[in-house]
Amino acid sequence: MSINFSFLIEKFPSNNLTGKAKFLAQGLFSIYLLEGDKPIVVKLITNQEIAQSEFFSLQYFFERGILVPKPYGYWEVSGKWVLAMEFISSGACSKEKSFLESLTKLYSIQSKKWGWEINNFIGSLPQPNIQTEDFFEYFWKTRFLPQLNLAVKKNLLKESYKTRLELLLKKAETWGIHKIQPRLIHGDLWSGNIIWSNRGMYLIDLSPAYGHPEQDLGMANLFGGFPTSQMPKLLETIGLDPYGYLERISFWQVYPLLVHVNLFGSSYLAQLENCIRKYDK
């Protein structure tokens, strides 16, 4: 580790930090734990925009009472960005109850417009955003089209996929998914982006927007790790009709699969094709 975190001791005197950094995990970025009375998690981020958008998202959720680690700030150190946040320890909890409570609170936060006020990221990929009253404009311009263009540029997909995705959105219009009030969503809800704590289900690594809750549920179904039996109850609790949501899940999985094609290559093409083909009839 080449970064000296001693400057954080001065910034958080009440935490009694020891200055000893313990390596926690290596994902997209390295994550360390600064030990003390109130331990702090630090993430080393190489991209300033990613650091800014992650801090903004955490702060936005935290201020609205959503269970996320409290963000403390981010600083440039030796050419990298140090994002500091509250340490959340894993613990036993009722996953069914915590899942319902955490996401019910999240999806109760509504907006008049679809989208998000700043650009952000999904994994390492830029995720452009707009704010619009038209769901299909939002989803096409900021979700489907950017990922499709990138996949075509990488020679992973053919330009003809554009027509198929346009037809898929027309199909989705018949479901009425655009008629709900936009809800605040996580945007990348897989099991690696949550922490089960004795205080509940914490959300991390946010890629948020005001979108449709079924987008999160589609992602949660894609890789598992969630109490999927609670999803109809969740939709009912937030005032949405759960009828037919299972038939729509594959639609919502198209976007994360496009992302995975661009991140990890052709191994995800078969899954992507299966999801789109389901609605070709």
Q: Which DSSP category does 159 fall into?
A: T
State both tokens at 238.
Answer: 């937030």
Q: Which DSSP category does 44 fall into?
A: E
What are the backbone dihedrals phi and psi of residue 139, each rounded to the nearest 5 degrees, phi first?
A: -75, -35
Q: For residues 41 and 153, give the distance between their C-alpha atoms in angstroms, rounded to a whole number.
A: 37
Q: Which of 37, 134, 188, 216 is catalytic?
A: 188
Beta bridge partners of 197: 200
If 0-12 CB within 10 Å is exposed, 13-18 middle and 19+ buried, where does residue 1 land?
A: exposed
State both tokens at 200.
Answer: 């509940």
The answer to whether 134 is a known catalytic residue is no
Amino acid at 229: S
Beta bridge partners of 145: none
Rg (CA), the chain: 20
What are the backbone dihedrals phi and psi of residue 80, each rounded to the nearest 5 degrees, phi first?
A: -120, 165
Which active-site residues does the annotation give?
Answer: 188
